[in-house]
Each structure stands twice: as structure tokens, then as C-alpha cells.
Amino acid sequence: MAEQDLVLYETPIPRVARLTLNRPEVRNAQSTRLLYALNAAFDRAAQDDSIHVIILAASGPHFSSGHDLGEIGSGAAHANIRAEQTVGTWCGFGCAGAEAQMAYEREAYFGLSERWRNIPKPTIAQVHGKVITGGLMLVWPCDLIIASAESTFQDTAVDLGVCGVEFFNHPYELGVRKAKEFLFRSNELTAEAACAAGMVNHVVAREALETFTLGIAEDIARKPLFALKLAKEAVNAAQDAAGRGTVLQSAFGHHQLTHAHNMLVHGMLMDPSNLRRKP
């Protein structure tokens, strides 16, 4: 598949760009190429002054099955990232020991998600189907989440001997107690439960999802872009001033420790005893 086909870019209505993940055959698993194609699409929309709102959608039956475990297991991820125009200053993707894995995840997972969270335009995740583990790091950076009624959200990391996904936004999405249960049980959270916890803004019927999301985007897109940018920055600053960045950095370090532990004990990044088949 050509690079530009991994993420589709369109402007369905004036002032609104829609980016669509387009690896339906693997349930939009996040290969290195997909992540950087998405980053390029976000950059294109962010740098276009005619665009006021960005929608992130997905093709196929599920929004995202998470990280591309085939690419990770084969060791190709570290080679593939060296072919990309990385956006951070970390290096060492081919180094020995834990350094290569930490470098890759700081750049391609933690780094890109944080970058997307700070795009100075309103972003909306248009979610359907399943959002599993790494898939959360695509929807959580978005400012609004609109989900179809059958959508579910799940972080299976603790099941696999890891303390949570690299972009550890759980307590800010769900609150402390709900976040702990979400992590400890690795269970699916329904769209309605996610909405009740404050993680999801609206839950709508699957057949109404696209139209409803466009309606919200159109309403926002009428506003002056400069005011939208500064309103977003002000709300993000409230989280940051309370120490969000420090919390995420600490959790990322814990995440890397679990990877190193699993490599020593199991010879792989995850504890294989609870590996599950993805949808």
C-alpha cells in the first residue's frame, strides 16, 4: 500500500479536514509507516489556515487494534523508524539492550501522541468498533471523542505484564478509581460507561456517527480560529500546570521497566501467559 493510502485525507465540509486510518485488513494496527503517515496528515491540516477542525476516523470494522505486534515481534519496527523523518531528537533506535526500545517508543508512541495532543486546532476522534491498547493513544490526544453505541475501549497492557500504554493519560480520562479498575482488570469499557466517566463526549448510533460528528465539527469550525487555538491551549495548560507532564514521564519510565523485566524473564517485551487474539 502506498504511503499516502495508509491515511486518507479529505475536506468533507468547509474548514474541516477528516483523516481516516486505512489499514482495515489488520483493524488499523499501528505500524511505523501508519503512525508517520498520520503525523504527516495532522501536519498538513494543522498548517492549512483554511482548516479550523480536524476529525480522526477509521475505515473497516474497528477503529484500531493497537500496536502492530507483527512488526514489533519481527524486530522490523526499529529498522522502519530509521526510514522515517522523525519529529523528536531521540536517537539510538538500533542500539543494544533497553535503549533501542525506549528510543522507539519515546519517539513513535509517547512522542507522537503528545505532539498530536498539542496541535493548535480542535481535534475530534470519530470512534467505532473496538479501540484496544495502543489505539487509545490515537483517540486520547484528541480534544473531543464521539463514539458509536457499540464502541468499546480496552487497555490490555497489565494482562501482558506491562503497566499501561505509553501515553499514560488514564487518570485524566477516567478519574483515579475508574482508571485503576480499567488497568487492573483489562476489561472492555463500553461507550456509555466511557461517556459517564467523562472520557467520551457523545454516544450515537453507528449509522449516525459520521453525520453527527460532522455537525459538531461544523459548529466549532464557524468560530474564529485564533480564539479556538487559545481556548485549547488554555485548557491544556490547566492539566499541565497540575503536573500532567511529570505523571506521564514517570509512567513511561515504569512502562520501559516492565519491558526490560519481561525481556529478562520471558525473552520478549510482554508476558506471554495472557496473550489474546485481537479482533
Q: Is the pLDDT of residue 19 over 90?
A: yes
Report the range of poorest mean pLDDT among 19-23, 33-37, 71-75, 272-276: 272-276
Residue 125 lies in a domain: yes
Residue 77 lies in a domain: yes
Residue type for 256, please? Q
Q: What is the CATH number of the domain that holds 25?
A: 3.90.226.10
Residue 120 lies in a domain: yes
Q: Is the pLDDT of residue 276 over 80?
A: no
Predicted local confidence at residue 211, as pLDDT = 98
Burial of 96 (0-12, 13-18, 19+ CB in 10 A): exposed
155-207 residue pLDDT tens: 999 999 999 999 999 999 999 999 999 999 999 999 999 999 999 999 999 99
Strand 16-21 versus strand 7-13 pairing type: antiparallel
CB 152 within 8 A of CB 66: no
Residue 260 in 3-state DSSP?
helix
User: Nine-digit cell at 68?
Assistant: 502492530
Q: Which of 124, 105, 111, 112 is nearest to 53 (CA)?
A: 124
Residue 279 lies in a domain: no
Q: How many CB atoms lie within 10 A of CB 218?
A: 16
Residue 206 lies in a domain: yes
- Domain count of the chain? 1
- Range of 202's domain? 3-274
Residue 250 lies in a domain: yes
Nearest-angstrom CA–CA distance, 27 and 6: 12
Report the range of poorest mean pLDDT among 32-36, 94-98, 112-116, 151-155: 94-98
What is the average per-residue pLDDT within 18-29?
A: 96
% of the chain at pLDDT higher than 90: 91
- Output phi, psi for 252, to 5 deg: -65, -40
Q: How many CB atoms lie within 10 A of CB 108?
A: 28
% of the chain at pLDDT higher than 70: 97
Q: Is the pLDDT of residue 277 over 70?
A: no
